[in-house]
């Protein structure tokens, strides 16, 4: 007989569009399989402090299309301590919760991995982060929406750039990963893309611009915030000195990249992952993240999922593609 009766669900770390669709799927799947489901507010911070709410099919009505997370999210320093995690475990026992589903990124899974090992407590993760920087899934929930947000914003910037013969440096999110910059950069037809995984540097960029066609009405350079050059303003300054005749403008997109309605891709991914996570828990899965690789659902151990993947996804072939298309 299966002893899982009550599943707890939380969202943690940076919010990502599609987290609500994931919560909805977890709650509806749990109810479908005759389980109780408890919402844990503000990620691990709410776990530690017992900030729990009962969820039912109605509490997730009309949220599939909403950005953010109805369960709120937080970064919890307390959970990083052994005492904090012990407090969290006691809260789960007190509320008769038998398994956890956590929705977040690599930090969330690092914490979940410790917790599941320390207390032998079942946890299944859902990749919810705009960064797409996890192993074991081709795409994370929120990434598709974030790159489309960037593309829509840069298309508008392109209109004004075109009207004034300007060079725009646009900074996008990605402290440790340039995947948002790379994909969206290709999507907007950027002249060059500066990402942490490939050290093009300012010199490389200058060369690219010097070699490029001079009669282009507008030029767009995408910079990932984590690139070694230190952000779009630094790049802008360096270029102004080298090209005093260019009309150079800088734009930092910031938090708009986290907001907005999730794309259909993200809603479907989140829905599929949410149901798979509940079914995984019932089948005895633990210490693993649900993912989709080549269209198949798979479970990957947390310690493997959080290994960084830059070399794999940001291969020279992608950078070559950018160079070829910038002619
Ligand atoms: P995103 O990639 O979108 O920022 P994330 O899940 O990586 O999401 P983090 O803030 O890095 O976001 O992690 C979320 C939470 O996970 C932290 O606030 C903390 O409570 C927990 N966590 C992170 N690292 C550890 C760790 N080494 N030990 C225990 N808990 C951790």
Which CATH number goes with the domain that contains 180? Answer: 3.40.50.460
C-beta neighbour count of 72 within 10 angstroms? 17
Which is nearest to 181 in space by CA: 234, 142, 227? 227
φ and ψ of 235, to 5 deg: -65, -45
Provide the residue range defining the domain that includes 289: 6-142+262-309
Q: Note the pLDDT of residue 292.
A: 98
For residue 211, the model assigns a pLDDT of 82
What's the CA gap between 43 and 266, in Å, rounded? 21
Compute, in angstroms, the gap from residue 72 CA to the centroid of ligand 1: 15
Residue 226 domain-assigned (yes or no): yes
The number of folded domains in the chain is 2
Q: Domain with 19 in it: what CATH number?
A: 3.40.50.450
Strand partners of residue 123:
100
Tokens, residue 76? 């919890």
| Same domain for 185 and 68 | no
> Does residue 57 form part of some domain?
yes
Q: Which of 32, 165, 64, 47 is nearest to 101 (CA)?
A: 47
38 lies in some domain: yes
Note whether residue 322 is domain-resident. no
Same domain, residue pair 185 and 254:
yes
| Same domain flag for 138 and 80 | yes
**Cβ atoms of residues 265 and 230 within 8 Å:** no
Does residue 254 sit in the same domain as residue 272?
A: no
Residue 116 to residue 88: CA distance in whole angstroms = 12
**Is 90 inside a domain boundary?**
yes
284 and 236, same structural domain?
no
Binding residue per annotation — 189? yes
d(CA 83, CA 91): 12
Across 299-325, b (16+ Cβ under 10 Å) vs e yields: bbebeebbeebbeebbeeebbeebeee
What spacing in Å lies between the alpha carbon of 249 and ligand 1's midpoint?
34
Q: Which of 258, 276, 301 is the last residue of a domain?
A: 258
Q: How many CA atoms lie within 13 A of 178 on its CB side?
A: 27
The binding-site residues of ligand 1, defined as CB within 6 angstroms of any ligand atom, are: 12-14, 44, 75-76, 79-80, 104-108, 110-111, 114, 129, 131
Query: Is 108 flagged in the annotation as binding?
Result: yes
Residue 24: its pLDDT value, please?
98
d(CA 192, CA 83): 47
Pair (274, 209) in one structural domain: no
Same domain, 137 and 153: no
Note the pLDDT of residue 1: 44
Instruction: Determine contact, residues 174/225, Cβ cutoff 8 Å.
Output: yes
The answer on 285 and 213 residing in a single domain is no
CA-nearest residue for atom 15, ligand 1, is 108
Burial 263-275 (b: 16+ CB within 10 A, else e): beebbebbbbbbb
User: Is residue 196 within 8 Å of residue 310, measured between CB atoms?
Assistant: yes
d(CA 325, CA 235): 21
Same-domain check for residues 209 and 302: no
Determine the atom of ligand 1 nearest the C-alpha atom of 45.
20
Q: Please check whether residues 16 and 138 belong to one and the same domain.
A: yes
Q: How far is CA 50 from the centre of its chain?
A: 26
Active site residue 15: no
Secondary structure letter of residue 11 according to DSSP: E
Is 27 assigned a ligand-binding role in the annotation?
A: yes
Residues 52 and 73 in one domain: yes
- What tokens appear for 78 in the block? 């307390």
168 lies in the same domain as 226: yes
Q: Which of 197, 229, 258 is the last residue of a domain?
A: 258
- Does residue 304 belong to any structural domain of this protein? yes
- Find the DSSP H helices in the chain: 19-32, 43-49, 82-94, 106-119, 143-164, 179-188, 201-211, 232-242, 264-282, 302-305, 310-313, 316-325
In a domain, 1, yes or no: no
Q: Are 130 and 16 in contact (CB under 8 A)?
A: yes
Q: Is the Cβ–Cβ distance between 27 and 54 less than 8 Å?
A: no
Query: Does residue 92 form part of some domain?
Result: yes
Mean pLDDT for each 10-residue chunk of the chain (327 residues)?
Answer: 87 97 98 98 98 96 98 96 98 98 97 98 98 94 98 93 86 90 95 87 88 79 87 92 88 94 98 98 98 97 84 73 86
């Amino acid at each position: 007989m299966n002893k899982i009766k009550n599943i707890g669900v939380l969202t943690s770390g940076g919010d990502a569009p599609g987290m609500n669709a994931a919560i909805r799927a977890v709650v509806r799947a749990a109810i479908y399989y005759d389980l109780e489901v408890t919402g844990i507010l503000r990620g691990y911070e709410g776990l530690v402090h017992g900030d729990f709410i009962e969820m039912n099919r109605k509490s997730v009505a009309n949220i599939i299309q909403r950005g953010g997370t109805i369960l709120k999210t937080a970064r919890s320093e307390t959970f990083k301590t052994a005492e904090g995690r012990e407090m969290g475990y006691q809260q789960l026992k007190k509320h008769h919760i038998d398994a956890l589903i956590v929705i977040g990124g690599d930090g969330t899974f690092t914490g979940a991995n410790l917790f599941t090992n320390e207390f032998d407590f079942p946890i299944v993760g859902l990749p919810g982060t705009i960064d797409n920087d996890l192993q074991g899934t081709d795409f994370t929930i929120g990434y598709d929406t974030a790159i489309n947000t960037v593309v829509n914003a840069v298309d508008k910037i392109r209109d004004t750039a075109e009207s004034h013969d300007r060079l725009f440096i646009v900074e996008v999110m990605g402290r440790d990963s340039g995947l948002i910059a790379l994909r969206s950069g290709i999507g907007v037809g950027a002249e060059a893309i500066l990402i942490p995984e490939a050290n093009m540097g300012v010199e490389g960029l200058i060369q690219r611009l010097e070699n490029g066609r001079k009669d282009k009405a507008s030029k767009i350079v995408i910079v990932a915030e984590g690139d070694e050059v230190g952000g779009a303003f630094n790049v802008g300054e360096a270029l102004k000195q080298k090209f005093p005749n260019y009309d150079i403008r800088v734009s930092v997109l910031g938090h708009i990249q986290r907001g907005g309605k999730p794309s259909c891709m993200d809603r479907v991914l989140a829905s599929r992952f949410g149901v798979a996570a509940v079914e995984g828990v019932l089948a005895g899965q633990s210490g693993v993240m649900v993912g989709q690789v080549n269209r198949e659902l798979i479970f990957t151990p947390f310690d493997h999922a959080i290994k960084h993947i830059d070399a794999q996804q940001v291969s020279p072939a992608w950078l070559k593609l950018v160079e070829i298309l910038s002619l």
